[in-house]
Amino acid sequence: MNNEWTYWPAPAKLNLFLHVIGRRGDGYHLLQTVFQLLDWGDEIALRTRADDRIERSDGPQAIPVAQDLTWRAAMALRKRTGTQRGADIHLHKRIPIGAGLGGGSSDAATVLVALNELWSTGLTRDELAEIGVGIGADVPLFVRGHSAWAEGIGERLTPMTLPQRHYAVVDPQVHVSTRDLFAAAELTRNSRPSTISGFLDGTLTANAFTPIVRARYPAVAAAMDWLDGYGEARLSGSGGCVFVALDSAEQAEAIVKACPGEFRAFHATGVNHSGLLDCLGRYRNAAA
């Protein structure tokens, strides 16, 4: 079974708010945010090899293999465990690059979780998350697979059960540089720390990057202005995608259909439990 292609989801996420509350001595920013997992995202096909090579057979042409987080995740897992097993990686990319939806981090997490199973390396979820934070701050979220309140650089997670909402997500089709946003002089880095209860009372919806992205990326500002006609348009993470929360799938689908041609849009439903963990459970049951 391990020599056949297996297929694993890599779900996207939204940041329902995001504040920067300080900076560590090493330059990393301290955040507070709520991660909402979605039922939509990338798909990764994996197949173990008879040799020890790790090959990305398909993936984004704009990202060299050595910089691809799926390849880096596989290499990091092998280094940590000492396994000599190889793998083929085929990435079907749906999540836009630079969108603030966690695509690269989710892809890396899926490779860690799935190859840990396929290679029988036996690491715990905590150990996989520890590897993941060295690849990207959001990787532990996807490894643990639950919507969460996050602090630190995004790796300190408190699982949350969020009410089900539907989201219309609009992609202005621009790549937003996370590095540039964090380096921006106008970024507010001293927001007052909040609490989970402060989020639950509905007062936390702002994203610290919104004014910077609006000023630097006119297409994102235009998408937000258009989406504001249907509710409170919010920026996700440090990317270019914007979204609005809705009560029904019908509302979200209507917005998607009305989306102007210069943008792309999709409807996704918020989930508390990652489809990746559901897939892992099905794989184990089939292998038993």
Which residues are designated catalytic? 13, 138
Q: Which residues, at least 6 apart from 273, have a Cβ–Cβ distance to it below 8 Å?
A: 37, 145, 146
Distance CA(237)–CA(149), nearest Å, equals: 14
232 within 8 A of 244, measured Cβ to Cβ: yes
Give whole-number Cα distances, 268 to 8, 10, 125, in Å.
Answer: 18, 14, 26
What 8-state DSSP symbol labels residue 111?
Answer: H
Distance CA(45)–CA(41), nearest Å, equals: 13
What 8-state DSSP symbol labels residue 230?
Answer: G
Q: How many other CB atoms are there within 10 angstroms of residue 9's CB atom?
A: 20
Q: How far is CA 182 from the centre of its chain?
A: 18
Q: Give the closest residue to 111 by CA, choosing from 276, 270, 282.
A: 276
223-242 burial: b if 16+ Cβ within 10 Å, else e: bbebbeebeebbbbbbbbbb
Burial (CB count within 10 angstroms: exposed 0-12, middle 13-18, buried 19+), residue 70: buried
